[in-house]
Amino acid sequence: MTSAAYSCRVMAPRTGVAAVVLTLAGALGGCTLGSSGAPAEPSSTSRPALSPVATSSAPPPTAGLRRYYGQRLDWTDCSDGQQCATLQVPLDYARPADRSIDLALLKVSATSEAQRRGSLVINPGGPGRSGKDYAAVAEQALGPELGRAYDVVGFDPRGVGESTPVECGSDEQQNALVDSDPSPDTAAERRTTDRLIRGLGESCLRDSGALARHVSTVEVAKDMDVLRAALGEPRLTYFGASYGTFIGATYAELFPDKIDRMVLDGAIDPAASTVEVNLVQARGFETALRAYIGACIEAGDCYLGDSVDEGVRRVQELLRDVETEPLSTSSGRELTAGNAVYGIWVPLYSKLSWPVLDAGLQGAFEGDGSVLMNLADQYLQRTAEGKYSTNSAEVFNAINCLDRDDGVPSSEVERYEPRFEKASPTFGSIFAYSISTCASWPVHSGRQPQPVRAEGSPPIMVVGTTRDPATPLVWSRALADQLPQGVLVTRDGDGHLGFRAGSACTDLAVERYLIDGVVPTKDVICS
C-alpha cells in the first residue's frame, strides 16, 4: 500500500449498528490506498459473457421537475484548484413546486484534457459522510489514472454537511446515547436507550421539520439524476463506496437507462432485512477481530496471549469491565463501553490501523482509555471536548430508518440474541440490540428491503473483499447476482473496501472498466 493516508472517518453503529454497514473506509488510513509494482492480471471464475458498456438516452423530466433538470452549475474556485457549486433539488419529489433545498458540490477537474471522458460522481458512504470531503482527496482515494480521465464530483447528500442540513438536538444529547450501554441487558437499561433514541428523533423533527422526513436514499438517488443533468452528462458514471453502493444500486433501480459506468465497492445487499444486516455484520466484525489477533500471535510475543481464543477472551473481558467501570482518558472524559466498542471497531477497517489498535488495547488493559477514545472520536467526527464537528452522527438514523423501516421492538430482541451471540461471541449482543433502533425512531416510512432489478442497465461492477468487517463479501455477491448485468470483482484480503486497498489486480479491473469500458467476461478474483 502507499503511505499517503486519507482518514475517511467512518460513521458507525450504535445509533443503529447497521451503520457500520453503511460506511466508507476505516479511519487512520483505511481508504488510502494504492499499490506498488506491476499490476497482476485478474483470474476468473465461470460466468456468462457480458455485453460491452451500453449507451442510452434519458427521457425528458416531468414538467414539475423541468426547472431543476434545466439548471447549469456556477462553479467557483474554492481551495487548492478545486471548484465548488450549489445544486437545487426539491425537498419532496411528489410536490416539487413547494420547496427546494441546496446540495453542496465540489469538483476536482481532470488532470489531462486529452484523456478526459466526462464527470465521475462519487459517494464515500455513511450514511452521513461528506462527498465534498471525499472528492477533495480524489488523488489519494481514487488514484492518478481516474484523475486524468474524469472530473471527480462529490456532493454532500441532502441533509448532510454543507447541503441543507438535518439538525437534531444537542451534543450532550448525542453523547448520552453514545455513552449508554451498547448492549442493554435489563428492562431498565432498554427503556433508557429507547428513550434516548426516540428523544434524538423527536429533536430532529423539532429542529429540522419536514427535512427529517425527506432524507431517504431514494430521494438522494433522484437528486443524483438532477446532478447528472446539471453536469451536462447524458448518462451517469458513478463510484460508490460502502453505503454509497446503496445509493448507486437505488439509482440503477430508478434510472437503469441513464447509467454509463458504475462501480459499487463494499456493497450492501438491498434485499437484506435489518435483522439479516446486523447478523452478517456481527459475524464480519468477529472474523476481523480474530484475523487481527491471529496476526498478532503469528508475529510472536503477542500481548493478547498465545492463542486466538485467549486473545478474544481478553477483549471480551475488557468490554465487560469497562461497562461497569469506565476508564479515564487524557481528555478528562470517561471511556464507556459504547465508546470502547467504537475504538475497537475503527482500526479493524484496515490492516494499516492494526498497530493503533495494539496501542489502544494495551493502554486500556493498563487503565488508560485515551487511544480508544481518540479512535471513537474519529469514528463519530467528534472533538476532544466532546463536540461534534459535523452532523454525521445526527443524520445517520434519520436516513437509515427511512430506508429500512423494519426495526424490531426492544422488548422482542431477547429472542434474537442467541443467533447473534453465536455469530459473534464478542459483539453479538451489541448488534442484536441495534435491530431495535428504528422501532424507537419516531419517523417511519414503511419501506421494506427489496432486491434491485435494474432491468435494462448496462454492466455494473461490484467489488467485494473476503474479510471486510463492515460490508461482508456475501453482500457484494448478492448485489452482483441481483443486477441483470452485474460482474463481481473479489479482493482476497482484510479491511473495508477493495479498490486502492493494495491489490493491483483489483485496481486494474476497476480502472479498465471506468476508463476504457472493458467489462470482464467472468467474475474476477484478486489477491
Which positions are catalytic? Answer: 242, 468, 496
Assess contact for 521 and 485: CB atoms under 8 A.
Answer: no
Cell of 522: 467472468
Q: Which residues pair with 265 in a beta bridge?
A: 241, 463
Cell of 394: 445526527
Assess contact for 42 and 498: CB atoms under 8 A.
Answer: no
**C-alpha to C-alpha distances, 377 to 128, 333, 339, 388, nearest whole angstrom:** 16, 11, 8, 9
Nearest to 278 by CA among 1, 22, 10, 9: 22
Report phi then psi at 173, rounded to 5. -65, -40
Q: What is the DSSP letter of 71?
A: -
Nearest to 31 by CA among 497, 403, 525, 401: 497
Cell of 15: 445509533
Dihedral angle at the C-alpha atoms of 438, 383, 346, 439, nearest 10 degrees? Answer: -10
Q: What is the DSSP letter of 426?
A: T
- The string over 333-343, giving b where at least 16 C-beta atoms fall within 10 Å of a residue's C-beta and e elsewhere, is bebbbbbbbbb
Instruction: Give the angle subtended at the CA of 162 by the CAs of 146 and 110, to the nearest 5°.
Output: 20
Q: Residue 103: which H helix or E strand, with range?
A: strand 100-108
Report phi then psi at 519, rounded to 5. -100, 120
Beta strand 43-45 with 523-526 is antiparallel
Q: Tell whether omega for the bond before 127 is within 30 degrees of 0, i.e. cis.
A: yes
Q: Tell whether omega for the bond before 48 is within 30 degrees of 0, i.e. cis.
A: no
Nearest to 468 by CA among 267, 233, 246, 300: 267
Assess contact for 303 and 362: CB atoms under 8 A.
Answer: yes
